[in-house]
A and B are shown apart, each in its own frame.
Chain A
Amino acid sequence: MRYAETGFNLEIDLTRGSIERVPTDPRHTELHLGGLGTNAKLFWDRVPPETEPFSEDNLLIFGTGILTGTPAPGCNRTILSTLSPQTRLFAFSMMGGFWGPELKHAGYDKLIVRGKSPELVYLWIRDDKVEIRDASHCRGLGTLETAEVIRQELNEPHAQVSSIGMAGENRVYYASIEQGRSSASRQGLGAVMGDKNLKAIAVRGSKDINIARPEKFIELCTEALKFIRERNEKPIPGVMPILAGLGSPQEMAIHDEKWHTENFAWGNARTRRKGFWTDEIQKLWTNTMENMRTRLLSCHNCPMKCGAAISVDTRLCSYMMKCFSKLTYTMGAFSDLEFGLRIAQKATEHGVDAFTAPQTMAFAIELYEAGILTDKDVEGWPEDNEGRFYWLLDRIVRREGIGDILANGTHWAAKEIGKGAEEYAHNNIKKHEQLPLKLGMLNPIYFLMYSTGEKINITQIEGNFPQAPFPTREQREEFCKDWIQVPNEKLKEYFLNWELRGENSIPHYPTIEATCDIVEWQEMMHYIDDATGMCAGLSSFPLKPPFHIHNLPTLISAGTGLDLDEASLTHLTKRNRNMVRANNLRRGMTRKDEKPPADHWKKRFPELEEELMDKYYEFKGWNREGIPTRETLHELDLDYVYKDFVERGILKEEDESVQSREASSEGSTS
């Protein structure tokens, strides 16, 4: 018997209309666990680097984590992987909600979609019964609307539905896949789903998920719940309220938005508004949220309440929101919270990413103000920012007029518009829009995370280490007292010595060596979560989470029956990290691409930055170009990647001297 996973993938070829239930190789589980790890491996094996995002050969994988759907709290994630039309790299966006556990209960670890359907269709998965059904009547419908129509026609009120809106149908480069409570928003996966002519996937499952060592597993879950209950009573002092607790930043629950509104940039990620957060604004926005938010909501089997039902019309729940999408439209349009919550409803139905969409609209307004877009380009748009946002959203999701250009995101739109528009697409990494954050002094930790994070989204690499130093040593010592999550004492030392000012402050402290350790730990935790399907909100994202490197190996082992300890889980995670990177290197990603937006910090230190990159690459076992060396790949059982790299000229075939070095290093690590 297979434990925690089902041992089967569901393979759908939409071109041929074929449906297959395919057993998976247990060896892949041992090497990559599940979720992102096995997604990346599948991608390497089956999607050659010449593949275009919008082609029949591109796969769209919905991969549940290895613990998704088990009783482990917060294990509800689906990791979606495909080639992003925007970054043209291997994309992995994730969603929580209820869809992933349902797929696993239906008997599948992954749904793998290839090909293109000639007509708009949806999938209906009811355990072993799988159908490809006509969806022509859903064309143009919103994401939540579609889900309702499908549930009604199937007479399955409890089916979980993932769907795309008009943005996905029209292949908007930042179209999302929505499932009500959650969404996979980043990197344009909805566009690929739309390209495949797949409107939605409805799932209902009624099978068991088995646990290898049940008593141990439940004991660990119970301990975690107890920890969460206690931790929820004890927010961490000295950090901003949204980062003091567990879960995603508690945007739905907390009203104090001083930090975001005054430190994040408004409009097209340009304008800091110091002193914005007045008592009057606080009262107004609190009132808006209290009136429009009807309930705080959780994902499957998670005690945190990071989401909320938002009412913008007569319905008690017009849509469900989470996290920072609360403010992205508001700040993009220089408007107020009510506008933000209202337009987000439309945007969610259309299915667009709440980072890239408002940024792109603010970019268009800026281009118009600069005279690069003219009245002719935006003929008939309203005078006010709010009106323009609605107007633009409508045209983007339909790809009408200027909307057709803007639908490709700021990078590609700027290229197409020309006339200096590139200067305005200033907030991207690897062609993908980032948090609207513009700061003063370079932070070495964030520099490396922004540059090298292959999710291309800072929240998916930052986490367990405080974002900023605490002012006094006493506060830092206090913080370290119950900091059990650190992998080793070194991390505590780095934090204890980290000062706001003076010698031990950014950019030169943490030292390069310390920075490498800090980034490595934080990234590793995310890669573990992405393989297990654990929500980052209970593990890799918040300070002092219930799950960490010291208890996750036991939890995963008890669930799956594998025998993992800290060292072997770390090693496996490294393998997954390099597998993801290998996919991207093979698609042409280079060191040149690994950099934050030029204006992210005012004060930059080119020499230090070069050194940071050099040392970090070396630390990771990559060469100066950021390519995993033969030695690294060999240690990770990825010799076939080395071979492919050599064949493609990404790595040069190494000579004997390298091999002997490899032999001696193996001797020293055993």
Chain B
Amino acid sequence: MAEKKKKKKKIVKTIKIDVDKCNGCRACEVICSAFHASPRYSSDNPGRARIRVIREPLSDIYIPVFAGEYTPAECAGRDKYTIDGKEYGECAFCRASCPSRDYFKEPDSGLPLKCDRCESDPSLTEPLCVQWCLADALTYEEREEEVEEEEALDEVDVGLEALADKHGWQKIVDAIARLSKES
């Protein structure tokens, strides 16, 4: 079976985070929140940022963390890391928008926030947090990767499969045909 899988090229967008270079200025938070304001740049508020610098100045901990998935419940068990003699808090590297902390949530509505790499049209050369990080703690890299097609199920695929499990494929196909005609 495996030899029949097709290989497909995919652009992987990576923000490299060098915590040793972070000088804790929070410019990334400021510009992120400004970019995502509506109208764009009309306000700033680190509370709305999709990147936060986890800062513990007296422990010399500065970790820029990007907002990831929403989770409705906090972890049951949590872990602490010690790296080079520095003890990192239980949530230090976690990207989740989670009830355990007030990061990555709209301050007024509590709705979860997620980093979208500054998606816009036309697209930016680099996410703004990277552009505003003159310390180069954040750098941007795009690389091509070959991936096996089957594994590249995107969100729509996952959703459709779930629907098909429930209603059967025929009903889904009919619904799609009907809806796309209407639109």
Contacts and interface: CB of A to CB of B under 8 A. Distances in A.
Partners in one complex: yes
B138 interface: no
A73 B24 CA distance: 14
A113 to B, nearest CB: 26
B107 interface: yes
B15 interface: no
Contact of A301 (B30, B58, B107, B135): B30
B57 A209 contact: no
Given A225-B132, A301-B30, A309-B60, A211 B23 contact: no
B43 A210 contact: yes
A297 interface: yes
Contacts of B42: 210-211, 214
Given A295-B60, A309-B57, A209 B43 contact: yes
Contacts of A305: 23, 135
A347 to B, nearest CB: 17
A354 interface: no
A206 interface: yes
Interface in A201-234: 205-211, 214-215, 217-218, 222, 225, 228-229, 232
Contact of A208 (B25, B27, B44): B44
B45 interface: yes
A317 B86 CA distance: 11
B45 A207 contact: yes
B41 A299 contact: no
Interface residues of B, number: 32
Given A214-B40, A298-B25, A302-B27, A206 B135 contact: no
A207 B33 CA distance: 11
Contact of B39 (A206, A207, A214): A214
A296 interface: yes
A209 B29 CA distance: 13
A317 B43 contact: no
Interface in B12-62: 23-27, 30-31, 34, 37, 39-48, 55-60, 62
A185 B109 CA distance: 40
A296 B107 contact: no
B25 A301 contact: yes
B162 interface: no
A4 to B, nearest CB: 10
Contacts of B27: 73, 301-303
B75 interface: no
A318 to B, nearest CB: 8
A71 interface: yes
Contact of A211 (B25, B41, B47): B41
B23 A298 contact: yes
A123 to B, nearest CB: 20
B136 to A, nearest CB: 10
Contact of B44 (A70, A158, A206, A296): A70
Given A105-B45, A206-B45, A71 B57 contact: no
Q: How large is the interface on A (under 10, 10 to 19, 20 to 34, 35 or more residues)?
A: 35 or more
B134 interface: yes
A105 B59 CA distance: 26
A144 interface: yes
A316 B135 CA distance: 20
A222 B24 CA distance: 19
Nearest to A181: B57
A208 B134 CA distance: 24
A437 B27 CA distance: 37
Interface in B70-105: 86
A437 B22 CA distance: 35
A98 B62 CA distance: 15
Interface in A125-154: 144, 148
Interface string A279-323: 000000000000000111111111101000100000111001000
Interface string A51-86: 000000000000000000111010000000000000
A490 B57 CA distance: 46
Contact of A295 (B23, B37, B43, B131): B23
Contact of B24 (A71, A294, A297): A297
A242 B17 CA distance: 29
Nearest to A318: B58
B59 A208 contact: no
A180 interface: yes
Contacts of B25: 298-303
A260 B42 CA distance: 45
Contacts of A158: 55
Interface centre among B37, B46, B86, B135 (most CB of A within 10 A): B46
Interface of A: 69-71, 73, 98, 105, 144, 148, 157-158, 180-181, 205-211, 214-215, 217-218, 222, 225, 228-229, 232, 294-303, 305, 309, 315-317, 320
30 contacts: A69-B44, A71-B30, A71-B31, A105-B46, A157-B56, A180-B57, A206-B107, A208-B43, A209-B45, A211-B41, A211-B42, A214-B34, A214-B37, A214-B39, A214-B40, A214-B41, A222-B131, A225-B131, A294-B60, A295-B23, A295-B62, A298-B23, A298-B25, A299-B25, A300-B25, A301-B25, A301-B27, A303-B27, A303-B135, A309-B57
Q: Report, nearest first, the 10 A-B pairs whose CB atoms are least far apart.
A: A214-B41, A303-B134, A298-B25, A316-B60, A208-B43, A206-B47, A206-B107, A298-B23, A208-B45, A214-B42
Interface of B: 23-27, 30-31, 34, 37, 39-48, 55-60, 62, 86, 107, 131-132, 134-135
